[in-house]
């Protein structure tokens, strides 16, 4: 359910039972101008737009007015009627001198308003009510991002600065255990910036924007300073950001919040039950964090093993948390605190994650005596081995994804690709997060491959459209389920992830791909965990971006250009780097390094005619390469100019022989002397761009004694010297006739031969034909 910006009209209010159950009269006074109805609607959209149930509304008399009335409580449905109902209530409250509050969460029934009654909550709010408000807001924005909604509550600090409510909207409502998690997050943020600690309780009410603040005789509108409902945060990611956010200078989070000053002792933490909703002044999140932190320290110090520590954490969860956390949430919190403890205290003294007997070890003699056959390469020679990992790196737009698609199609068909071979048709699962479905199918349909290759790969290559997920613990489970569905009988031979950046999960610490520890976590706990879960002997291919380095740096050591942490290079079994040595040319170089096999020479490859091919390096220039390219470009320019001039002369009514053309354009248009022009015409004639017309008397031109005749280019038109009237536009235009060739120069013997079919223009340029 999304509230949206509801249209507020003079419709009546439904009876509430405990407030104003009289019928609304037609001539009732309109809402006072002090109430901002649009602000109320916007606030309800941000805070309750995704929620279902009832919104508890509170009407309290602000202090300092000399009024003494009891609070007025109502419950309104969290639907499209909410803005109109709350605006009517706010108008009444403004007349009566009452302030309007809501509990920022929904409940199931009328009369419910305690923490345990809150069923859904879709925002995280911080009340900045003291100290340097601007500095606190800057600290929050720097570490948590700009809030979705920023409200001036109406109060002022001793320095006269407006107090603020900062709201972050979640992508979906928190329910169940996550309601207490949101409340704990609100308390943790308040601890770190010195904000109001009371919002540690899920049922803490807060003022509604668009209503009137009246404390101590002041009358101010609770105003919205800024709002962007589209700015939303994921709860798990936001919790990670809060966890790593440092406390502001001068604030001790351990003692900042009043409800937590008298923390229980360690014995009490480990033995006292903690109920949901902070009913004991100590939330389940705080109790679990304290207990997990204790066992983490014991494992780190070597006093217990990791297995014993995990058993103790699970025991605390089952015995003290009411209700207990899920195993997934418990494991995530344990991993987060373990990572933080390592960061602060260094490597552990002992972490026996596995029994010593389970670590494989072999003597030298046993290895020397083992003469069993080597396992077949998944992609040879030793590019992707069983259980190995291949990383393909390349700059954006270099053709990396297209190259990878072609490699996977051939592997799925068991067909050779360039120098790479597969022993059979491999089962390939391609997890890609860049190309949307329709553009993916378009690209695959445009592949110019052998139909037999396509036919063999139709059912063995499974590709995902662009995914919007992280390869975190939940993402691994989702991908594993998709792979099992794609290959229900036997697991895949190859799992490909493209690219790393779009799916990267650096673990509980939330670090990026530039951090070595985060990269190792992703490779071991996400990529390898996925492979081990599905098919331990499968090969993994990862596509990755490269850094911006100079061409010379890439040539000196191509694999230093891989983006992110250097731990990646030390982890994979094979690497490929695809890059363009010259941005003005289409050729790419493919460099390879293998950990399980001999080095392979770099390949010079290109995509021509829709297919990737390997080029012969013997055709490359070795000396004065740049000057040679400039000369090639100049020759191509002269060829284009000559062809264009021949056509322009014909359009002016003039046909030219080779000598006549060379004489007319000598040292013009940068074509050089007559001999140079004749040589260029000879080259173009041999390649088929220029042909000849021996007899043009039917076109009004005299017979020529030239052995070749007049020059003719493709689609050439000759002006006859007559004019005609265009029947459609009435414009007078010259009459043009097509000039077809009668002879061409044989590219092998250079003899002048008759054209078999003048209507068909045949080129003899090998580059154009390819």
Encode pLDDT of 28-77 as tens digits.
Answer: 333 344 788 999 999 999 999 999 999 999 887 775 555 555 568 899 99
Q: What crossing angle do the helices spanning 306-320 and 327-345 adopt, rounded to 10°?
A: 130
CA separation for the pair 85, 6 (Å, rounded): 11
pTM of the predicted protein model: 0.43
What are the pLDDT digits (tens) for 481-526?
899 999 988 889 999 999 998 899 888 777 888 888 889 889 988 9
**Residue 302 confidence (pLDDT) above 80:** no
What's residue 145's pLDDT?
A: 92
**Residue 259 confidence (pLDDT) above 80:** no
Nearest 5°: phi and psi at 606? -160, 160
Q: Radius of gyration (Cα) for the chain, nearest Å?
A: 38
**Residue 669 confidence (pLDDT) above 50:** yes
Q: Which residues contact 34 (CB under 8 A, 6 or more apart)?
A: 94, 212, 219, 221
Out of 17-26, 85-94, 293-302, give the one with best mean pLDDT: 85-94
9-13 average pLDDT score? 34
Burial class of residue 560 (count of CB atoms within 10 Å of its CB; 0-12, 13-18, 19+) = middle
Q: b/e per residue, 461-474, with b = 16+ CB within 10 A?
A: bbbbeebeebbbbe
668-683 average pLDDT score? 89
What are the pLDDT digits (tens) for 721-736?
888 887 877 788 888 8
When the pLDDT of each residue in the chain is averaged and rounded to a whole number, the result is 83
What's residue 621's pLDDT?
A: 52
- Point out the least confidently predicted range of 549-563, 610-624, 674-688: 610-624
**Residue 585 confidence (pLDDT) above 70:** yes
Q: Which residues contact 762 (CB under 8 A, 6 or more apart)?
A: 688, 744
> What single DSSP character describes residue 681?
H
- Cis bond leading into 305, ω under 30°? no
Which whole-number Å values give the CA distances from 253 to 180, 268, 714, in the listed order? 19, 21, 82
């Amino acid at each position: 359910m999304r509230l949206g910006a509801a249209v507020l009209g003079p419709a009546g209010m439904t009876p509430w039972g405990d407030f104003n159950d009289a019928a609304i009269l037609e001539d009732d006074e309109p809402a006072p101008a002090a109430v901002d109805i649009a602000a109320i609607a916007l606030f309800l959209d941000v805070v309750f737009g995704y929620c279902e149930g009832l919104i508890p509304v509170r009407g309290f008399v602000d202090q300092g007015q000399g009024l003494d009335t009891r609070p007025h409580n109502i419950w309104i449905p969290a639907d499209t009627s909410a803005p109109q109902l709350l605006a009517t209530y706010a108008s009444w409250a403004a007349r009566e001198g009452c302030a309007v509050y809501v509990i920022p969460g929904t409940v199931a029934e009328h009369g419910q308003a305690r923490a345990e009654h809150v069923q859904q909550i879709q925002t995280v709010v911080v009340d900045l009510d003291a100290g340097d408000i601007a500095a606190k807001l800057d600290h929050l924005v720097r570490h948590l991002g700009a809030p979705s909604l920023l409200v001036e509550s109406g109060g002022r600090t001793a320095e006269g600065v407006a107090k603020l409510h900062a709201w972050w909207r979640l992508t979906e409502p928190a329910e169940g255990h996550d309601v207490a998690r949101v409340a704990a997050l609100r308390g943790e943020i308040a601890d770190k910036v010195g904000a109001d600690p009371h919002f540690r309780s899920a049922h803490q009410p807060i003022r509604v924007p668009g209503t009137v603040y009246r404390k101590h005789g002041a009358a101010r509108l609770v105003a919205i300073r800024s709002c962007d409902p589209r700015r939303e945060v994921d709860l798990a990611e936001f919790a990670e950001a809060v966890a790593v956010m440092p406390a502001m200078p001068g604030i001790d989070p351990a003692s900042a919040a009043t409800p937590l000053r008298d923390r229980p002792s360690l014995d009490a933490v480990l033995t006292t039950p903690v109920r949901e909703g902070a009913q004991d002044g100590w939330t389940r999140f705080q109790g679990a964090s304290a207990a997990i932190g204790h066992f983490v320290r014991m494992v780190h110090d070597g006093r217990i093993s990791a297995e014993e520590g995990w058993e103790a954490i699970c025991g605390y969860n089952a015995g003290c948390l009411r209700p207990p956390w899920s195993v997934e949430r418990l494991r995530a919190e344990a991993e987060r605190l373990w990572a933080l403890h390592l960061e602060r205290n260094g490597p552990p003294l002992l972490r026996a994650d596995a029994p010593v007997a389970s670590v494989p070890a072999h003597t030298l003699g046993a290895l020397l005596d083992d003469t069993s056959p080597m396992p077949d390469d998944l992609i040879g020679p030793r590019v992707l081995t069983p259980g190995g990992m291949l990383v393909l790196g390349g700059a954006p737009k270099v053709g990396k994804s297209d190259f990878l698609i072609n490699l996977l199609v051939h592997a799925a068909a068991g067909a050779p690709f360039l120098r790479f071979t597969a022993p059979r048709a491999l089962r390939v699962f391609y997890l890609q997060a860049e190309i949307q479905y329709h553009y993916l199918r378009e690209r695959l349909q445009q592949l110019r491959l052998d139909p037999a290759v396509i036919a063999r790969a139709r059912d063995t290559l499974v590709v995902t459209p662009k995914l919007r997920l992280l390869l975190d613990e939940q993402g691994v489970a989702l991908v594993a389920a998709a792979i099992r569905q794609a290959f229900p009988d036997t697991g895949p031979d190859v799992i490909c992830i493209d690219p790393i950046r779009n799916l990267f999960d650096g673990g509980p610490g939330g670090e990026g791909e530039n951090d070595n520890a985060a990269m190792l976590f992703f490779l071991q706990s996400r990529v390898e965990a996925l492979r081990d879960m599905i098919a331990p002997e499968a090969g993994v291919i990862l596509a990755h971006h490269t850094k911006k380095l100079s061409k010379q740096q890439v040539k000196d050591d191509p694999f230093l250009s891989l983006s992110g942490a250097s731990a990646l290079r030390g982890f994979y079994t094979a690497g490929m780097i695809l890059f363009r040595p010259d941005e003005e040319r289409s050729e790419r170089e493919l460099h390879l390094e293998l950990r399980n096999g001999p080095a392979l020479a770099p390949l010079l490859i290109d995509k021509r005619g829709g297919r990737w091919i390997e080029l012969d390096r013997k055709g490359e220039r070795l000396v004065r390469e740049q000057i040679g390219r400039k000369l090639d470009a100049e020759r191509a320019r002269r060829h284009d100019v000559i062809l264009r001039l021949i056509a322009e002369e014909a359009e002016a009514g003039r046909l030219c022989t080779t000598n006549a053309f060379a004489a007319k354009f000598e040292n013009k248009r940068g074509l050089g002397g007559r001999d140079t022009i004749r040589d260029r015409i000879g080259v173009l004639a041999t390649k088929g761009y220029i042909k000849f017309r021996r007899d043009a008397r039917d076109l009004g031109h005299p017979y020529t004694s030239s052995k070749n005749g007049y020059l003719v280019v493709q689609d050439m038109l000759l002006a006859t010297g007559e004019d005609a009237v265009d029947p459609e536009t009435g414009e007078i235009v010259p009459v043009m006739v097509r000039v077809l060739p009668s002879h061409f120069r044989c590219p092998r013997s250079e003899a002048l031969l008759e054209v078999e079919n003048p209507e068909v223009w045949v080129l003899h340029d090998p580059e154009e034909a390819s």
